[in-house]
Amino acid sequence: MNTFTVELFNAFFYSLCCLTIYELFFYRQDSSRYQTQLARSEKEREELRVANLQSQFDVLKQQVNPHFLFNALNSLSALISEDPHQAEIFVDKLSGVYRYILRANSEPLTTLAAELDFIDAYFHLLQTRHGAGLSLSLTIDPARNNCRLPPLTLQLLVENAVKHNVVSPKRPLTIQIRTDETGQLLVANNRQPKTTRALSNGVGLSNIVAKYQILNFPPPIIEETPGRFAVRLSLLACAELPAEGHANRADNSPGG
């Protein structure tokens, strides 16, 4: 092999090496740039998804039955002349209910203890209207007080039970709220459906299912028989903190 051929081969080999290094360098740069752009796009898509879900959640949280306030004011009007002291208590409970509702609109989750305190006030208003036709039983493990759930979940279930069932002293409606051995929350009532279909504004069970779905939590479990309706809910993010609130009461009828 002559000198010219050797030099030509060396030049070709050198050029090939340079080209390979060049391509590898810019391929890595392009690949890195592509990965960065892909990550940015994924992040933007996730931020849009979260913003959309948050918007849906905000709408759901504000869906409180408008007929409730109308009925509450009617009950208050009757109490003012019949029992001014009870009317004063009723106003305090009503104020507490709407204070909680306003605060709940800014929080995706609340503690079980806070929900039960709210239900104490909310149920007082319902029982003022329905009297002996309505009762509430609470059996809550105090260790679950600091577990979390979407705000107004219990209100929607209690409202749903009252709205769709007969409530009268002759046919009393009993609502049970308790924690079971697995730590889940069970809300149940005896079934005695109204003969006429109740007016609905879209809140209730479907609202709760949507909340759990939006928050990416295990969905509620519905248990229904001819004589009983129950919803089993997962409690979330249980903090190891001292128990407090009304949750340590068992078999009570708040507001009675």
Span 2-25, pLDDT tens digits? 564 545 455 555 565 665 665 655
CA distance 173 to 228: 11
The Cα-based distances of 254 to 66, 204, 208 in angstroms read: 23, 22, 23
How much is the pTM?
Answer: 0.67
Span 120-169, pLDDT tens digits? 999 999 999 899 999 999 999 999 999 999 888 999 899 889 999 999 99
The Cα-based distances of 255 to 64, 122, 163 in angstroms read: 21, 9, 19
Q: What is the dihedral of CA 247, 72, 190, 213, to 10 degrees?
A: -70
